[in-house]
Chains A and B, each alone.
Chain A
């Protein structure tokens, strides 16, 4: 490309002046205006935008909380209650942040499920998927450290249990734990560094989200049929079609969010976290936040500490390999009748693990967790690699437009099996 001013189509002289020197308006128009998007998204495709909105809400509320929070073991609990009582609308900011974490995980879990169901991780979107898994890992670290900050009983004991996991690693384990703690137990240095990292990591997430979106705009979006767009008849411009569809989703999401914040703000939390941290008194049952329960169940399903820790981390890390573990060329589970059943079972196992994670580590929950854990991994390591070779799939639709609009609009030609034309919203 030759050096010189960018050729801009912008009419407004001021915007044009900027655009010629830094084509941000051209870029926005290209990536969010005319960006060709498959015409057949269902509402599952809202959740990427929702996650983005949620991240921004978390950062905005977090900045205001940090202005009023004191990261010291002697003051942290009271400073949070001061926010609740004396800071103007502090209760609102804090409850939005606190429930925002839960909403974030709900949204991202659905976003991940969307990827699993419609095969969004398959070539050429492997890197896009792996960046997403990276975001999820960063989110988990951020959420964990954020939960420590109010310095309640679950903050303290959750931090103790989770940081102690690293001691399972041979040789380096104890050193890692000492480094995390900044001493020899969870104490003020731990709280200080967790606060610092909790403020830092969201901006790292923003960076990886940028890469995630950039990669998405190279490959383009997957869609419910899992068939790549073959021409302009298969796509529509992002604006106004998907800006308005995302708006509808955002409002529904905000209603669920608002209901939690205003009417049951503590429902998803644990009451013990309103008891100030006390290193001398261990709660009867130490449980993490609900979104970590499945991994907690996997951890406790293994009798060996190191084995449990490895399986727990492995349960997420295995997602990185998913694009190569799934050997089927067919993306969408819509056209994979057998794999679909196994995926539904996998989701079931995920909920079972979530349930067992909240239960005490005793029978029958341990044995149930073990079976669910086994299936969790078997789905990725056995079922998906094997099914790609064994499963017989119906013929895929010729194109998105033909599947969506039907022969009446598109003119003659055979309809593909199992892909009857349906109205847009009900794909």
Chain B
């Protein structure tokens, strides 16, 4: 029995590993590079300064086309912004509110409780402005792609000239990490295109890392709390498990030698 159990365990394990891996084998695109993000490890946390730089990259580069509609400005306190900073970012945005007592809609500066603004009124407007392509919302992007963080990092830094013999469609760009290797989005990250508030040099690689850190946090803002709680739960259960097993041994001890 034991032997078979072991065989099952190995089989089940192999199935669990092979199934996700095989997805890459089927698609026409490259496996993402491993960017070794600190938050990707089992107990990892989000680098606050990186996430804040990522916010800046999102605001100055991505936000032109991509929304972040599930995120509220108040959430920014979680990556270490002060309340004043978060309020200032919110106040930069004009929000349509109302109707007021006269029944009119009106514009007001954003508050902490407001969500991030969507760059286009609707999908049609987005497509019209982007050569028919629809820039997806980034709120849960890191968990909406296989190996999301590494994938987005690889994609952002993966633009290159198409290999000989490959023709790229009209208005498309070559990127080996995208399904089909052609993507409507152009390369948007170039060295030193912006200046980080904390003085870090804005290389394309740095900006990609930072914005992925920011988006990973935005996709799963509960990550750090979840991992901390997980440790406590597992320790609690482990102690309880040892105690329960000892009690079990004691209760069963006399049964081994005598008929009940």
Residues in A lying within 8 Å of B, measured CB to CB: 39, 78, 81, 84-85, 91-92, 95, 232-233, 235-236, 240-241, 244-245, 247-248, 251-252, 254-255, 258-259, 261-263, 265-266, 271-272, 274-275, 284-285, 290, 293, 334, 344, 347-348, 351, 354-355, 358-360, 401, 405, 409-410, 423-424, 426
Contacts and interface: CB of A to CB of B under 8 A. Distances in A.
Interface of B: 1-2, 4, 7-8, 11-12, 15, 18-19, 22-23, 26-27, 42, 70, 75, 136, 139-140, 143-146, 148, 179, 219, 221-222, 226-227, 229-231, 233-234, 237-238, 240-241, 244-245, 247-248, 251-252, 255-260
Contacts of A254: 237
Nearest to B11: A351
Contact of B251 (A78, A95, A241, A401): A241
8 contacts: A81-B139, A262-B229, A271-B144, A284-B179, A347-B11, A351-B15, A359-B26, A405-B256
Contact of B22 (A39, A358, A401, A426): A358
B42 to A, nearest CB: 6
A271 B145 contact: yes
B221 A85 contact: yes
B15 A265 contact: no
Nearest to A90: B222
A176 B186 CA distance: 47
A424 B237 contact: no
A284 B256 CA distance: 58
B255 A424 contact: yes
A259 B22 CA distance: 24
A347 to B, nearest CB: 7
Given A258-B230, A424-B256, A275 B42 contact: no
A405 B257 contact: yes
Contacts of B241: 248, 251-252, 255
Contact of A274 (B15, B144, B247, B255): B144
B213 to A, nearest CB: 18
Contact of B260 (A236, A293, A351): A236
Contacts of A245: 248, 252
A14 B89 CA distance: 65
Contacts of B258: 405, 409
A355 B18 contact: yes
Contacts of A240: 251
B257 A39 contact: no
A285 B26 contact: yes
A240 B247 CA distance: 10
A253 to B, nearest CB: 10
B182 to A, nearest CB: 15
A39 B140 contact: no
A233 B260 CA distance: 5
Contacts of B4: 344
Contacts of A284: 26-27, 179
Contacts of B140: 81, 274
B22 A271 contact: no
Given A95-B226, A247-B248, A360-B26, 18 more contacts: A78-B70, A81-B70, A85-B70, A241-B255, A245-B252, A248-B241, A251-B241, A255-B234, A258-B233, A271-B144, A272-B144, A274-B219, A293-B19, A344-B7, A355-B18, A358-B19, A405-B257, A409-B259
A301 B7 CA distance: 26
A262 B219 CA distance: 16
B96 to A, nearest CB: 19
Contacts of B19: 290, 293, 354-355, 358
Nearest to A245: B248
B148 to A, nearest CB: 7
B145 A233 contact: no
B230 A355 contact: no
A258 B256 CA distance: 33
Given A258-B230, A263-B230, A274 B237 contact: no
B234 A259 contact: yes
Nearest to B230: A262
A265 B222 CA distance: 12
B231 to A, nearest CB: 8
The 4 closest A-B pairs by CB, nearest first: A262-B230, A274-B144, A233-B259, A251-B241
A261 B231 CA distance: 11
Nearest to B18: A355
A47 to B, nearest CB: 13
B251 A244 contact: yes
Contacts of B244: 244, 247-248, 251
A235 B139 CA distance: 58
A245 B251 CA distance: 10
A266 to B, nearest CB: 6
Contacts of A233: 259-260
Nearest to B231: A262
Contacts of A263: 42, 227, 230
B11 A348 contact: yes
B235 to A, nearest CB: 10
A232 B237 contact: no
Contacts of B229: 92, 262
Q: Looking at B179, B251, B259, which has the most chain A CB atoms within 10 Å of its CB?
A: B259
A39 B1 CA distance: 19
B194 to A, nearest CB: 28
Nearest to A231: B259
Contacts of A334: 1
B74 to A, nearest CB: 10
A345 to B, nearest CB: 11
A340 to B, nearest CB: 8
A271 to B, nearest CB: 5
A390 to B, nearest CB: 22
